[in-house]
Structure 1
Amino acid sequence: MSATVIRSLWWSVRTDGDAPFDTAHLKVYYPATVTGDDAERLTGVFAPDATAAPYPVVLFLSGVNVGQDSYRRFASAIAESGFVVVTFDRVADLFGGQRGLTPGVDLAAARPDAYGTRPTCPTISAILDALAELNETEPLRGALDLTRIALGGHSAGGTVVLQSARFFPHVRAVFAWGAHTLVATMLGWDPGTVLPAQVECPVLLGVGTNDGVIRGSADRYGEGEDRPDPVERTFTEALPDGEHLLAVVPGANHFGIADADPTAARAFLDGESTTDALARFAHLTTLFLRAHLRESATARDELAAFDDGMLIKRR
């Protein structure tokens, strides 16, 4: 008897920038069927489970210098609920001449004279084009529903998603952990400016009460560490009217949904984690995605009653 498991495959796409810093390497997680045949044994390639295909697609953007495999458990948990989940690594320009892992940011698009006219993350468009190609290629031929897309992200990845989503017409939901739309003063904005999110769909924001990275970055925005929470400000000030959720997780930190790499990124700034935020926020995210991408009435009911020890705000 066949069984459904989560498998993944790799893909690549050229993005903006100069070679060799112009390539994103994708990891695509999908529900697969295990048959035990010789092709699986010899290649390690599994066919997608056709039961619920085509699957809505979730494109997830990493934080700066956070490798995509840091999100493997989170991505797999979402895929288990009937989604194709895409993560990627892209080494490119950061700030001040540095290079590292980045979702890709068009800094000019985030300046006062341009914000809101185009996405701040050109990589999104390139990856969606690549997924259309992948959907015409074995083994995932026809398995992706590119008319039902969610954009998600962590930290800077979540920020550019919030700044870019409305420019992609098939995006039906957005979610982010440890992300906000406060903008750096170096781009020409006044201290403490919250930019309006570029979204036209439901948004789920998540944050932990022990987020040391957001706290330790306050001076970028011309503020002190005792400022109001930027994620909550984004929820109340930056989002248009809609079916939005804010989940505040007691005891969780900035890397609560990731397996942090102590040799990279800024996990050294983070607060202590005293809870399993990954499993809890993954559960909430899957309900949110099932409600808005699969239009599940059951998921909507569960979402309305969701608690799990989080502080949930709705608007």
Structure 2
Amino acid sequence: MTKQRFTQRNTRRIAAGLAATVLAAVVTLLGTPAPAAAAYGTVASYATSVNGDAADVHHPVAHTAHDPWPVVLLLQGANVDKGDYASFAAKVASYGFVVVVPNHFQVLFGQPGLYVTGEQAAWTVAWAAAEKTRAGSPLAGAIDSSTLLLLGHSFGGAAGLTLASGLCTPPFCAAPTPAPAQLRAAAFFGTNNTVPATGVNPPIAAVVPIALVQGSADGIATPAEGHATYQAITTSPKLYVNLIGANHYGLTDGQNPAGARPDLSPQTLNQATSVETAARWSAYWLRAQLGDPVGRAWVYGIGDAVDTAVTTEVTR
């Protein structure tokens, strides 16, 4: 096992030297876009239902039956509507994924609202298997129903952590839910497993590779809690992305979505840049774990050196 730690200082040193040359070579050989001017492919969206939950699906337009897209389930933050993730989900989809964003309602502690559950993973696998053969589906023959990937935000990320580790922690998990066999990797934004009463981060033995994307200005899920959670993950590969200037809502279409707990810590990074950067690192992480050479080159090589909006730590 090797571990890379990048700081702002060595990021500037590498970028001043080899990074430009390496990036140019990767662009030429593998076709990866430069992060500051990424050319996203055309993406379409449609409405569907996953186990009775209204859901939005974002997917690339160009596809063939011989090159199906893996399915990504995005688990929403508490009381954040699926529509607030439209830009982020579409950008992730442009990297070659079918991104499914459901609205799941349940009652927690007597309060009804949008609160995800780990059961949604198995529901999404079943939806994908049915959707790829459904007559009239925009994705008929274009879904890889044998692969499931996870994205999560805040409450949704915490629920995803319980699913990916078997560590069942209320209110994110009422009872242990086994991860589907199709689950391959996960990336969570503004997520930690810190126990509020003690500040302790229990060890996480993840069953799949996990990336944590953390806003440096997050006033709800703090950087200290996020990094402690990264350190508590005992398995590898794993990735920690420090998104400089982003707060808790750095991946939603706008700040402090209606109905959700507001983050009183202001975001200093441009919202569009924040969304794009979070999507890029999430998508490349997922691609890397599926064996994609472009994703691996980005995550394990040049990404930190050329992307000035982040610093990273990665273990593989």
**TM-score, length of structure 2 as denominator length:** 0.74
Post-superposition Cα deviations, 1:127-178, rounded to whole Å, max 9, x if no partner, equal: 2222221122132222111222211100010111111026222211110000
Contact 1:246 1:312 in 2 (8 A): yes
Deviation at 1:281, TM superposition (A): 1.6
CA contact (8 A) 2:82 2:103 kept: yes
1:219 maps to what in 2?
A: none
How many residues in Structure 1 have an aligned counterpart in Structure 2? 252
Following the alignment from structure 2 to structure 1, what is the Cα–Cα distance between the partners of residues 181 and 133? 21
Tell me the secondary structure at the aligned position of residue 279 of structure 2.
helix
Cα distance in 2 for partners of 1:299, 1:5 equals 19
Percent identical pairs in the alignment equals 29
For CA contacts below 8 A with separation 6 or more, give which structure has more relative contact order: 2
- Equivalent in the alignment of 1:10: 47
Q: Do structure 1's residue 146 and structure 2's residue 145 form an aligned pair?
A: yes
Q: Which amino acid aligns with 1:97?
A: G
What residue in structure 1 maps to residue 292 of structure 2? 296
* Alignment-derived partner of residue 265 in structure 2: 271
- Residues 195 and 52 (structure 1 numbering): CA distance in 2 closer, same or farther, change over 3 Å? farther
Give structure 2 stretches of 5+ with no counterpart. 1-40, 166-178
Quickly say closer, same or farther: Cα 1:73–1:183, change in 2 above 3 A.
same
Q: Are 2:249 and 2:256, in contact at CA under 8 Å, matched by a contact in 1?
A: no
Superposed CA offset, 1:6-46 (max 9, x none): 112222233xxxxxxxx41121111124xxxxxxxxxxxxx
Measure the CA separation in 2 of the matches of 1:288 and 1:6: 20
| TM-superposition CA deviations, 1:54-91 (whole Å, max 9, x none) | 11111110100001111111111111111111101122
Report what 2:218 is aligned to. 211
| Rounded Cα–Cα distance in structure 2 between residues aligned with 1:143 and 1:61 | 22
The code of the aligned residue for 1:69 comes to G
Runs of 4 or more off by more than 6 Å in structure 1? none
Query: What is the aligned partner in structure 1 of residue 195 from structure 2?
Result: 183
Tell me the amino acid that sits aligned with residue 243 of structure 2: V
Are 1:102 and 2:115 matched, yes or no?
yes
What is the TM-score normalised by the length of structure 1?
0.74
Distance verdict in 2 for CA 1:298–1:214, change over 3 Å: closer
Give 1:41's aligned residue.
Answer: none
Among 54, 58, 61, which residue is 1:29 paired with? 58
Contact 1:163 1:198 in 2 (8 A): no
Residue segments in structure 1 that go unaligned for 5+ positions in a row = 15-22, 34-48, 105-120, 186-190, 216-227
Q: Is the 8 A contact 1:164 1:198 kept in 2?
A: no
Matches within 5 A, 1:275-290: 275=269, 276-290=273-287
How far apart are the structure 2 equivalents of 1:197 and 1:61?
Answer: 19
CA RMSD of aligned residues (A): 2.0
Q: Specify which structure has the higher proportion of helix.
A: 2
Who is 1:242 aligned against?
A: 236
